Amino acid sequence: MGSTHDTTGRSYSYSNREPDDKNGVSETLDQILGEENEERDEVDESYDEFVEGTQITDLQGKTISERRDVIEEILEEDMAVEDSQLIGSFTRNTMVGPLREDSDADVMVVLDGDQHRNWVEQENGPRNCLNAVKRKIENDPRFSETEVTVDQNVVKVKYHDSTVEVVPAFENNEVPHADHPKDGWNLFTDASDGYAIPDTHGEQSWQGTNPRAYKNQFEARDQAHSGKVSDLSRTMKKWADNNDVPVRSYTMEVMVYNYFQQKSETGQPVPDSKEELVRDFTDTLPNKMKDTTREPIYNEAVDKGMSRGERKEAARKAQRMREKLNEARHLKKQGKTEEAKEVLQGVYGEGFN
């Protein structure tokens, strides 16, 4: 005699001998459950493959790092560069692959405040700083056919397969009049780690930021959840990209981070499987799209640019996603694996098979 368990955890006894076939039934209980598990695993495997496919390749990561090195080399010719570092989604493993022209990697170039005091003190210093970085890059022969533009607080360098956004910066203690992102104060929460970057949106100013602090918090939470934070971030970014959801990539990532933070604060469990995790996250996603999303360092709103119409459209698409995920779940429970996968393919689009 042996035993097995159903999905509720109840134990059953079974015999290893062939069962009677008087009712036309020739399958043992373990065979039936084995087939059901196999069907469930097909959907799980599709999720695993989809999430794995949202990562950039090692070669793409190497290419981005090499591009950072080239840009730093160019700027160092005429500027006093103290440091350059990749920041943003690339460093948090939330950059979505495969790379496209509008995929962006962020490079922060930290300048010497004494050598470039004019940009700190000039009325048009933020724009002059950005324009100087732009001219230096576009005048290099290697970028003679590359589009280089200024966009609010970065210099965009558009390659054929992705975009590098160059962010000039100063140590925040070298720009005492920089705007604090939390409430306009001139004091920083983490003075040793913060930076001031140019902002030309509306009136020109220097804006405080602290990418290192957010990266450290994100990585700690991601490690605590065995990579689920970065996995879910890329999954939701990919869904948004494939479905033209009007929400910024960074905003979606912060929504995911805040979801895990709330789980930790309330003591609620985080689902184990990728399928259950996405469904649990999307249960409240329509409302998240309507509300303000705030990052964890300064509690600053990261979705200021979303219009009412964009929020409404994003919420509608999130609601549609939630309904379709529940439909796929019911189909899977009924053993209709292929039908469930077809629904999920319609949800996620490119890359889900």
CA angle 28, 32, 37 (to 5 degrees): 140
Pairing of strands 163-171, 154-158: antiparallel
pLDDT tens across the length of the chain (353 residues):
444 333 333 333 333 434 444 444 444 444 444 444 444 479 999 999 999 999 999 999 999 999 999 999 999 999 999 999 999 999 999 999 988 877 889 999 999 999 999 999 998 999 999 999 999 999 999 999 999 999 989 999 999 889 999 999 999 889 988 887 664 444 444 444 689 999 998 788 999 889 989 999 999 999 999 999 999 999 999 999 999 999 999 999 999 999 999 999 999 999 999 999 999 999 999 999 999 999 998 888 999 889 999 999 999 999 999 999 999 999 999 999 999 999 999 999 988 98
| Topology (CATH level 3) of domain 58-209 | Beta Polymerase; domain 2 (3.30.460)
- What residues does CATH 3.30.460.10 cover in the chain? 58-209
pLDDT of residue 182: 62
The pLDDT value given to residue 6 = 39
